[in-house]
Chain A
Amino acid sequence: MPHAFELETAQNPEALRRIVIEPVSRVEGHGKVTILLDEAHQVHQVRLHIVEFRGFEKFIEGRPYWEVPVLVQRLCGICPVSHHLAASKAMDMIVGATTLTPTAEKIRRLMHYGQMLQSHALHFFHLSSPDLLFGFASDPAKRNIVGVALANPDIAKKGVLLRKFGQEVIRVTAGKRVHGTGSVPGGVNKALTSEERAYLLGDIQQVVAWSQEAVQMIKRLHLQNAILYDGFADVPASMMSLVDANGTLDFYHGALRARDKDGAIIFDQVSYQGYNDLLTEGVKPWSYMKFPFITSLGEEKGWYRVGPLSRVQNCDRMPTPLAEAERLDFLSHGHGTPAHGSLAFHWTRMIEMLCAAETISQLLLDDDLLGQDLLASGPRCQEGIGVIEAPRGSLFHHYRVNEDDLVTYANLIVSTTHNNTPMNLAVRDVAKKYLNGRELTEGLLNHIEVAIRCFDPCLSCATHALGQMPLDVTLMDADGTVLQRMTKDEQGTLRQH
């Protein structure tokens, strides 16, 4: 594994030239990349900064627990369903609903697979395909979805319609395409009507077929330029995701499994209820986003990657036949060795989109979707943890609720947060390989953004740490003489130096 801290902090930053990419475009949220170069254009420091602050963990406190699934989803406009469902799963525990009714569980799964489909389609077609179809250094005026629509109208149209179908699945299950209210603690507030099911069944076979085409398209792009796709932003990393009891990938529920960069199991079938013993959230003074790591391996070696590239290689099989065939094809390309090139995210993301489409196709035939038994309950609890595989990776929601039904504690570990270290390493890898010793151009800098986009980061979802930010403040006079230096560590302890 690459060293987690290489190129993180330069020895003499004040003597270096600073390049800033801000904002990082075609990602959700606001981030920037800073690069420090010497006079010979050698890279000494690269950081992906998340400069916005959301703070949801704090302002959820004091709100009634049944409001949380609706409130917390507002931190994202692209994958709100993931937060809606992760919070609902945590609140299921609060209301003692250890097992949902068949209708509620299947409606939630349908909603989630609709989300997976629309989010993956959005990312691949709208955000990333311009880089992949036109080249990383192509004309920036055309390197966008409008350019794709003009040059490849059929691809753009299918991308838009795939996303639309996913959003329609969300609408009929959650009430709205974005920020619905379908999932409530203990179940759901509506089932499907026969008309809604017939409406979705009318298009689903076309959606499955287009998803297959999307897999073939990215596979073709990857294999046509395998040296670039395998080696670009190559960050060998441990991988973590949910799998079911048989090791099959399950986006909605399961136990945690992690493999190291060579594919060996680190832990398996670990209940996510014990995530606090498993993971530690590190913090750094230059980012609002935390840096989680596997506690037993330490901060330097314990970082890991989540999301499609990890999920597809971490599981033993996909739950649907077409996606499983594509997974095996993907694995055969690696000849038994896990792939870590960041561009392989796109291939695996499309395999997951196909899996979502197939699963929706199967679910729509299930009459439980039309049932009327929507809610379950049991003995009231005061603590709930919900984990789900969101489009971008594992999403953790953890709440404590007092006897008066108000939330007293909230902790969110968002997919993009898990990927903080590998994203930083990916941009450093690209900076080293492509920027070192060269005159910088827009096209070269876009290589940095391409590496970030591979992860499909949701930066606004991921920035909630409050009061845990370490600080290092130095007061200097006009001559540069240090007059005073004060630091605050992760526990909030102030020190004079």
Chain B
Amino acid sequence: MSDTQETNCFFLDDEAIPFTPGQTIIQAALTAGKYIPHLCYHPEFKPHGSCKLCTVRIDSRTIATEDGQTIKIPGRAAASCTTPAQAGQHVESNIPELLDLRRTLIQMLLVEGNHFCPSCEKSGSCLLQGLAYALGVMNPHFPQYFSKREVDASHPDILLDLNRCILCELCIRASAEVDKKHVFSLSGRGHSKHLICNAESGKLGDTNFSATDKAANVCPVGVILHKRHGFETPYGQRRFDQNPINAHAEQYAPVKEQV
């Protein structure tokens, strides 16, 4: 058994990353200050594995052919937020193939919803926008879907702009696991899937949702907004103004109690 296995290390893009038993690959990487792109992962909630941004390749192999050439056999693709770290495994994240796929995923999300960054109050603090910049997404590539989405302003303190929903389910998990209210859920299938509110009217204003709920403060994009506070933070002081999203790995690392 090698030293790295004895000390519970795996290799992320050829760099040794220590982990504690039970940690997932992304938890260990973020704790070590190594950023793996993600949208639906949140250190305080059970991993979900739906956005696929954090997909990595595990244990790719290189073999030599009879004519002296070498061929790379890609390892299995896995969501790093749901895959436990194992000693000695070789994980690839920052490789052209995965970066291309992540760019494509971001582009699909951008055209599926109605993301108009120039007038969005989450601009500069939005994970989707931050990832688009970090991954070098220069255009939407796909035709804009122009989905018909609603704005629910029925709640006195919170606005729901469903135009920007990426179906990450963080609000659903926060409301169920932390707030114990089950305010949100997903309904429909395929391209009809959408966020709904747990009220007969379907309106947020008819639920017991509160602006102090965890679910009111966990949205990675500009869906769940605190009313009357838009654009209070000037340019230069927004979350990703000073450093790009991939410079903030430690912010997404597991909180200490859960490590």
List A residues at the B interface (Cβ < 8 Å): 62-64, 66-67, 69-71, 74, 95, 174-176, 179-182, 184-185, 189-190, 404-406
- Taking a contact as CB atoms under 8 Å apart, the answer to whether A180 and B235 are in contact is yes
CA distance A405 to B230 in the complex (A): 12
Name the 5 nearest CB pairs between A and B, nearest first: A175-B235, A71-B119, A404-B153, A190-B234, A66-B230
Interface of A is mostly: loop
Shortest CB distance A188–B (Å): 9
The answer to whether B231 touches A405, judged by C-beta atoms less than 8 angstroms apart, is: no
Docked pose: A405 CA to B226 CA in angstroms: 12
A189 touching B232, Cβ below 8 Å? yes
Tell me which residues across on chain B come within 8 A of A176, comparing CB atoms: 235
Counted as pairs of residues, one from A and one from B, with CB atoms less than 8 Å apart, the total is 58
Greatest chain B CB density within 10 A among A176, A189, A406 is at A189
Chain A residues near B151 (CB-CB < 8 A): 62-64, 406
Find the A residue at minimum CB distance from B236. A175
Could you tell me the distance between the alpha carbons of A301 and B227 in the complex, rounded to whole angstroms?
46
- Mind listing 29 A-B residue pairs with CB under 8 Å? A63-B151, A64-B151, A64-B159, A64-B225, A66-B121, A66-B228, A66-B230, A66-B231, A67-B119, A70-B119, A70-B230, A70-B231, A71-B118, A74-B119, A175-B234, A176-B235, A179-B118, A180-B235, A181-B231, A181-B234, A182-B234, A185-B228, A189-B231, A189-B232, A189-B233, A190-B234, A404-B153, A405-B153, A405-B159
Query: What residues of A have a CB within 8 angstroms of the CB of B234 in the complex?
Result: 175, 181-182, 189-190
For chain B, residues 221 to 245, give those with C-beta under 8 angstroms from any C-beta of chain A: 225, 227-236
B154 located at the interface, meaning its Cβ lies under 8 Å from any Cβ of chain A in the complex: yes
B230 contact from A67, A179, A180, A406, Cβ within 8 A: A67
Chain B positions within 8 Å of A189 at CB level: 231-234
B16 to chain A, nearest CB (A): 42
Chain B residues closer than 8 Å to A67, beta-carbon distance: 119, 121, 230-231
Q: How far is the CA of A23 from the CA of B90 in the complex (A)?
A: 60
Across the interface, which residues of A come within 8 angstroms of B229, CB to CB? 66
Q: List the A residue with the shortest CB-CB distance to B232.
A: A189
Nearest chain A CB to B56 CB, angstrom units: 37
Chain B neighbourhood of A64, CB < 8 A: 151, 153, 159, 225, 227, 230
Chain B residue at minimum C-beta to C-beta distance from A176: B235
In the complex, chain B residues whose CB is within 8 Å of the CB of A179: 118
Q: How far is the CB of A162 from chain B (nearest CB, A)?
A: 24
Chain A CB count within 10 A is highest, among B119, B151, B227, B233, for: B119
A71–B227 CA distance with the chains assembled, in angstroms: 16
The smallest beta-carbon distance between B88 and chain A, in angstroms, is 49
Measured between beta carbons, the chain B residues less than 8 angstroms from A62 are 151
Number of B residues whose C-beta is below 8 Å from A? Answer: 18
Q: Which of B105-125 contact A (CB under 8 A)?
A: 118-119, 121
Most chain A C-beta atoms within 10 Å of own C-beta, residue among B118, B225, B231, B236? B231
Q: How far is the CA of A181 from the CA of B118 in the complex (A)?
A: 10
The reply to whether A184 and B227 form a contact with Cβ atoms under 8 Å apart is: no
**Minimum CB–CB distance for A341 against chain B, Å:** 40
In contact, A406 and B153 (Cβ under 8 angstroms)? yes
Among residues of B, the one whose C-beta sits closest to the C-beta of A171 is: B235
Give the complex CA separation of A180 and B238 in angstroms.
13
Chain B residue with the shortest CB-CB distance to A74:
B118
- Asked if residues A181 and B235 are in contact (CB atoms below 8 Å), the reply is yes
- Which residue of the partner chain B has the closest CB to A404? B153
* A405 surroundings in chain B (CB, below 8 A): 153, 159, 227-228
Residues from chain B with a CB closer than 8 A to the CB of A404 are 153-154
Q: What residues on A are CB-neighbors of B159 within 8 Å?
A: 64, 405
Chain A residues lying within 8 Å of B230, measured Cβ to Cβ, are 64, 66-67, 70, 184
CB distance from B5 to the nearest CB of A (A): 51
Q: Please report the C-alpha to C-alpha distance between residue A182 and residue B235 in the assembled complex, in whole angstroms.
A: 8
Q: Which chain A positions have C-beta within 8 A of B225?
A: 64
Q: Taking the nearest CB of chain A, how far is it from the CB of B196, in angstroms?
A: 19
Cα A18 to Cα B208 in complex, Å, equals 67
A63 to B154, CA, bound (A): 13
Docked CA distance A70–B228 (Å): 14
With CB as the reference atom, state the residue of chain A lying closest to B116.
Answer: A71
Bound Cα distance from A185 to B231, whole angstroms: 10
Q: Which B residue's beta carbon lies closest to that of A183?
A: B231
Bound-state Cα–Cα, A95 to B232, Å: 15
Q: In the bound complex, do residue B231 and residue A184 qualify as a contact, i.e. CB atoms below 8 Å apart? A: yes
A187 to chain B, nearest CB (A): 10
Q: Please, how many angstroms separate the alpha-carbon atoms of A180 and B229 in the complex?
A: 16
B residues within 8 A CB of A180?
Answer: 235
Give A67 to B232 CA distance when docked, in angstroms: 11
Rounded to whole angstroms, the CA-CA distance of A66 and B235 in the bound complex is: 16
CB distance from B149 to the nearest CB of A (A): 11
**Residues on A with beta carbons closer than 8 Å to the beta carbon of B233:** 189
- Shortest Cβ gap from B235 to chain A (Å): 3
A295 CB to nearest chain B CB (Å): 34
Q: 8 Å CB contacts to A: which residues of B129-185?
A: 151, 153-154, 159
User: How far, in whole Å, are A175 and B58 apart by their CA atoms in the complex?
Assistant: 44
Per the bound structure, the CA–CA distance linking A74 and B151 in Å amounts to 21
Q: Across the interface, name the chain A residue whose C-beta is closest to B124.
A: A181
Nearest CB of A to B245, in Å: 20
Q: How far is the CB of B216 from chain A (nearest CB, A)?
A: 16
B195 shortest CB reach to chain A, Å = 18
A63 to B184, CA, bound (A): 22
Residues from chain B with Cβ under 8 Å of A190 in the complex: 234
In Å, the complex CA distance between A67 and B225 comes to 12
Q: How far is the CA of A190 from the CA of B236 in the complex (A)?
A: 11
Q: A64-B225, A70-B118, A189-B232 are in contact. List 7 more A-B contacts (CB 8 A).
A: A63-B151, A64-B227, A66-B121, A69-B231, A74-B119, A95-B228, A405-B159
Q: In the complex, what distance in Å separates the CA atom of A174 from the CA atom of B236?
A: 11
Smallest CB separation, B239 vs chain A (Å)? 14
Of listed B234, B235, B236, residue having the most chain A CB within 10 A: B234
Q: How far is the CB of A443 from chain B (nearest CB, A)?
A: 40
